[in-house]
Chain A
Amino acid sequence: MNQELESRVKELIVTALELDDVRPDDIDAEAPLFGGGLGLDSIDALELAAAVDRTFHVKLTSDDGDTRAAFRSVRALSALIAARGGGL
């Protein structure tokens, strides 16, 4: 697994979603992003998708099955970004 990319994704989640009380290292790469401990909601998903596009130039559209799968965890999201050629 790409540890460095996962760290960047964690960092992005904290900064883009302004999670003031969360440190990137505290995020479990395999934990659910939504409906889990981070307390993220549907608007966070839209913001995160926009941030992923800006940072990694990978488009995540809401009606895309890949997007739903990628938003399961930091690990899944990082894998999709890598597969689509982002994060280089």
Chain B
Amino acid sequence: MPSSSSLSAPRRALVTGASRGIGAAIARCLARDGLDVVINCRSQVERAEALAADLRVTGRRVTVKPFDVTDATATRAALDELLAEGPIDVLVNNAGVVRDAPFPAMKREAWTSVLSATLDGFFNVTQPLVMPMVTRRWGRIVNISSISGVTGNRGQVNYAAAKAGLIGATKALSLEVARRNVTVNAVAPGLVDTEMLEGAPVDELLKLVPARRLGTPEEVAELVAFLASDRAAYVTGQALGVSGGLG
């Protein structure tokens, strides 16, 4: 469903960490739904460019904007450039990293890098984009959390803390902006078939999943696309699982 009438410009979405995995699937779904899409990535610029070229067949304007969401200065500069071209109506905070280790053996760097990517990244990208959404009286912010942040997961004290923190930020921010038709929601994927699962004991983990299979990036992206649309106008401050019943 196109999210804007033929009289107005297409809505524009920024998806962070969108060169691959769930982020790429989200970019794909949003372009399909008629949004212009800005694909952010940190290092995988070639993959992001290939995805952008692929998505341009939808007729939408799709661009690549590489920046590291943990770098406040670089992020601010990139966002200023994007805002100079036009508003960002939809923000999907998807960028994230895993650095799993049993907690007693977890290095401080594994803790800080995971929290920074998720929480500093959320602040650096979201804070400059919120007030323009408020002023325009329309906006959608979707934060990609994780079932790990809801239930906890062995080896992921850092990741669970970051993703639970993101749910708290989602709920608090939703309260501030709800009156201005800006919604803020979190999506919490379970075990999804992406490169992030490399090295994980998938067969063991699947025993915990009631659906007994991995999810696909597309299954997560469909919920994000719904939350980004007009149809989800009354859904805000929620953390919704896409996990085959896990958590």
Name A's B-contacting residues (CB within 8 A): 18, 41-43, 46-47, 50
Known contacts A43-B176, A43-B177, A47-B135; 7 further A-B pairs (Cβ under 8 A) = A18-B137, A42-B176, A43-B134, A43-B179, A43-B180, A46-B134, A50-B131
- The distance in angstroms between the C-alpha atoms of A47 and B176, with both chains bound, is 13
For residues 172 through 208 of chain B, which have their beta carbon under 8 Å from a beta carbon of chain A?
Answer: 176-177, 179-180
Question: Closest residue to A46 on the B side, CB-wise?
Answer: B131
- The distance in angstroms between the C-alpha atoms of A46 and B177, with both chains bound, is 12
Count B-side interface residues using an 8 Å CB cutoff. Answer: 8
- Tell me which residues across on chain B come within 8 A of A42, comparing CB atoms: 176
- The distance in angstroms between the C-alpha atoms of A43 and B177, with both chains bound, is 8
- Tell me which residues across on chain A come within 8 A of B135, comparing CB atoms: 47, 50
- The distance in angstroms between the C-alpha atoms of A28 and B32, with both chains bound, is 51
- The distance in angstroms between the C-alpha atoms of A46 and B135, with both chains bound, is 10
- Tell me which residues across on chain B come within 8 A of A18, comparing CB atoms: 137
Q: How far is the CB of B63 from chain A (nearest CB, A)?
A: 28
Pick 6 A–B contacts, CB within 8 A, sort by A.
Answer: A41-B176, A41-B179, A42-B176, A43-B176, A43-B177, A43-B180
Q: How far is the CB of B177 from chain A (nearest CB, A)?
A: 7
Question: Closest residue to B130 on the A side, CB-wise?
Answer: A43
- The distance in angstroms between the C-alpha atoms of A68 and B137, with both chains bound, is 25
For residues 132 through 150 of chain B, which have their beta carbon under 8 Å from a beta carbon of chain A?
Answer: 134-135, 137
- The distance in angstroms between the C-alpha atoms of A18 and B176, with both chains bound, is 16
- Tell me which residues across on chain A come within 8 A of B176, comparing CB atoms: 41-43
Q: How far is the CB of B65 from chain A (nearest CB, A)?
A: 26
Most buried by B among A18, A42, A43: A43
- Tell me which residues across on chain B come within 8 A of A41, comparing CB atoms: 176, 179
The 6 A-B pairs at the shortest CB distance, nearest first, are namely A43-B176, A43-B134, A46-B131, A43-B177, A47-B135, A47-B134
- Tell me which residues across on chain A come within 8 A of B137, comparing CB atoms: 18
Question: Closest residue to A39 on the B side, CB-wise?
Answer: B179
- The distance in angstroms between the C-alpha atoms of A50 and B130, with both chains bound, is 14
Question: Closest residue to B178 on the A side, CB-wise?
Answer: A43
Question: Closest residue to B182 on the A side, CB-wise?
Answer: A43
- The distance in angstroms between the C-alpha atoms of A42 and B177, with both chains bound, is 10
- The distance in angstroms between the C-alpha atoms of A50 and B131, with both chains bound, is 10
- Tell me which residues across on chain A come within 8 A of B180, comparing CB atoms: 43
- The distance in angstroms between the C-alpha atoms of A43 and B180, with both chains bound, is 10
- Tell me which residues across on chain A come within 8 A of B134, comparing CB atoms: 43, 46-47
- The distance in angstroms between the C-alpha atoms of A1 and B135, with both chains bound, is 31
Question: Closest residue to B176 on the A side, CB-wise?
Answer: A43
Question: Closest residue to A51 on the B side, CB-wise?
Answer: B135
- Tell me which residues across on chain A come within 8 A of B177, comparing CB atoms: 43
- The distance in angstroms between the C-alpha atoms of A48 and B131, with both chains bound, is 12
- Tell me which residues across on chain B come within 8 A of A43, comparing CB atoms: 134, 176-177, 179-180
- Tell me which residues across on chain B come within 8 A of A50, comparing CB atoms: 131, 135
- The distance in angstroms between the C-alpha atoms of A50 and B137, with both chains bound, is 15
- The distance in angstroms between the C-alpha atoms of A42 and B131, with both chains bound, is 12
Q: How far is the CB of A62 from chain B (nearest CB, A)?
A: 12
Q: How far is the CB of B133 from chain A (nearest CB, A)?
A: 11
